[in-house]
Amino acid sequence: MRRLLPLILLATPLTVPLAVYAPAVSAVENVTLTFWTFLDPKKNTPREKAWAEIIQAFEKKNPGITVRPEVFPWKEISPKLIVASSAGRGPDVTLVETDLSEKLARGKILEPLDRYIAAGDPRIRDDLYHPETRIVDGQTFSLNMWTNGTALFYRKDLFEKAGLKPPRTVDEFVAAAKTLTVDSRGDGRIDQWGFAEGTARSQPFGQRTLFPLIWAQGGVIVTPDGKAAFNNPAGVKAVQWFVDLVKVQKVMPPDIVNLTYDEHLQGFMAGRYAMIFEGMHRYQNTQTSPVVKGKVGLSYIPSWDGKKPSPTPVTGWDIGIGAYSKQKDAAWKFIMHALSYESQMTNAKIAGQVPARRSVAKDLYFQSADATEIKFVLDYLALGSQEFPRTKNVDRLMDLFNQAINEVLLNDVPVKVALDRAAAKYNEGI
């Protein structure tokens, strides 16, 4: 025994960490993982086909583990996670809306991933775009699965006809919008507007146009301690410019106060708007409209001075482990597989998704003609991007910001006053 004692003492420092991290590396067998997603692998759209392939490859590599996707409408995943977790239940793995990841993390709905990352591949976090936004109170609760940049979608045919080039500055943007605002039937009613962005309360999205213009001036939306700061001079300047598009320049319809996120895209696809700012994940959908098929150009979001485009707002989906999962090791295995080089390439090639990992983006495929749209986003990300702010109540923040715009548009309230009120209301609430 005395002979063994030094060996035991030597082995202890090695075995303790192994024991601590054992769950992350232990073999898992005969496990069914529930995976909450909004993409149904049984369906036939490219994104859904890509997921089917990713899951199939995972099950092949891990014969003891079966993935059972449970599919929900995309806007319902977060509410359902909240309800299920309140009752001590939930999925093993779930897709997480990036904007809501902090809210879900603070609600103890997601499992911290740090020990799995440390035991697996610690470099993975820094390989993602904006890794800092995944950290809540010093812990990481989700990892980015895919990235969606935002761009200016414009009608190439209309631009060519009018001899216009994609705008680089906001002034060029206004000039183009003026040219493309047309009363084609001469009845005093505009049939085609130069630009539109919706601020309807049910699906407000004014932030998509305005946050990049605030960021481009060095302004912030929230302070580091989570308070609303969009009422700063950069915010006032951007909102004033936006409101003037309706009131002064008359290139945006006044009914944007009732225009939703979905209707704004439908309007562009119907030829009602010549330009919109839109998430790149919706580009393929525009090609289903015979009105604009093959006529949609992509450009960067203009900036104030034209030296560099405004940063593209990055949205997307994260992937995480449900806090109440009883099979967290297997869940982590699946996450690592979903984020693997192979799966990210599958997602890019089949679904046209922009990879979430910088190392994957270096693949030569993204220089090829098949990946033109993805390359556009990757180039834009390299020039500058920002994620929408993570705050305790991001929905409320966006709602109040858009309400302030509507107040200016509908009630002629000065921009500064409306933004101050909205920021104060948000800060009171938190």
Partner 1 sequence: MTITFSVRWVKYSLTFLVLAGVAILMLTPVVWILVTSLKPEAEIYRFPPQWIPLQFTLDNYKAVLQSSMPMYFVNSIVVAVGTIVLTLFIAMHAGYAVSRFQFRGKNVFLFLLMASHMMPGVASLVPTYLLAGKLGLLDTYAVLILVYSMWQTPLVVWLIQGFLESVPATLDQAAMIDGYSRLGAFYRVVLPLSKPGLAASAIVVFVYAWNEFIMALTLTSADNMRLAQVGLKYYISQYGIQWGELAAAVILSIVPVLILFVLLQRWFVYGLTSGALKG
Residues contributing to the site for partner 1 (CB under 8 A): 34, 36, 38, 40, 42, 47, 70-74, 76, 80, 83-84, 86-89, 191, 262, 265-266, 269-272, 281-282, 284-285, 288-291
What distance separates the 2 farthest-apart alpha carbons in the chain? 101
- In angstroms, give the least distance from the CB of 177 to partner 1: 18
Q: Which is nearer to partner 1, 94 or 231 (CB)?
A: 94
Q: Which is nearer to partner 1, 279 or 311 (CB)?
A: 279
Nearer to partner 1, 9 or 87 (CB): 87
Cα 171 to the center of its chain, rounded Å:
27
Ramachandran angles phi, psi of 402, nearest 5°: -70, -35
- Give the strand pairing for 93-97 and 135-136: unpaired
Alpha-carbon span 231 to 236, nearest angstrom: 6
Residue with tokens 């897709």: 95
Quote the least distance from Cβ 86 to partner 1, whole Å.
4
Which CB, 271 or 297, lies closer to partner 1?
271
Q: How far is the CB of 301 from partner 1 (least distance, A)?
A: 20
CB 284 within 8 A of CB 46: yes
Q: How far is the CB of 101 from partner 1 (least distance, A)?
A: 16
Rank residues 12 and 288 by Cβ distance to partner 1 and give the closer one. Answer: 288
Compare residues 84 and 404 and give the one whose CB is closer to partner 1.
Answer: 84
3-state secondary structure the chain: CCCHHHHHHHHHHHHHHHHHHHHHHCCCCCEEEEEEECCCCCCCCHHHHHHHHHHHHHHHHCCCEEEEEEECCHHHHHHHHHHHHHCCCCCCEEEEEHHHHHHHHHCCCECCCHHHHHHCCCCHHHHECCHHHHEECCEECCEEEEEECEEEEEEHHHHHHHCCCCCCEHHHHHHHHHHHCECCCCCCCCCEEEECCCCCCCCCCHHHHHHHHHHCCCCCCECCCCCECCCCHHHHHHHHHHHHHHHCCCCCCHHHHHCCHHHHHHHHHCCCEEEEEEEHHHHHHHCCCCCCCCCEEEECCCECCCCCCCCEEEEEEEEEEECCCCCHHHHHHHHHHHCCHHHHHHHHHHHCCEECEHHHHCCHHHHCHHHHHHHHHHHHHHHCEEECCCCCCHHHHHHHHHHHHHHHHHHCCCHHHHHHHHHHHHHHHC
- Structural contact between residues 224 and 166, judged by C-beta atoms closer than 8 angstroms: no
- Please, which residue, 78 or 231, has the CB nearer to partner 1? 78
Q: What is the bridge-based pairing of β-strands 312-321 and 385-387? A: parallel
Residue 231 or 286 having the CB closest to partner 1: 286
Q: Which residue, 272 or 337, has its beta carbon nearer to partner 1?
A: 272
Q: Is 297 left (phi over 0), alpha (psi -120 to 50) or beta?
A: beta
Least Å distance between CB 84 and partner 1?
7
Tell the smallest beta-carbon distance from residue 421 to partner 1 (Å).
Answer: 29
Q: How far is the CB of 104 from partner 1 (least distance, A)?
A: 16
Nearest distance from residue 379's CB to partner 1, in Å? 22
Residue closer to partner 1 by CB (options 104, 404) is 104
Taking the complex as a whole, the smallest distance from the CB of residue 336 to partner 1 amounts, in Å, to 24
CB 87, min distance to partner 1, A: 4
Q: Which of 22, 291 has the CB closer to partner 1? A: 291
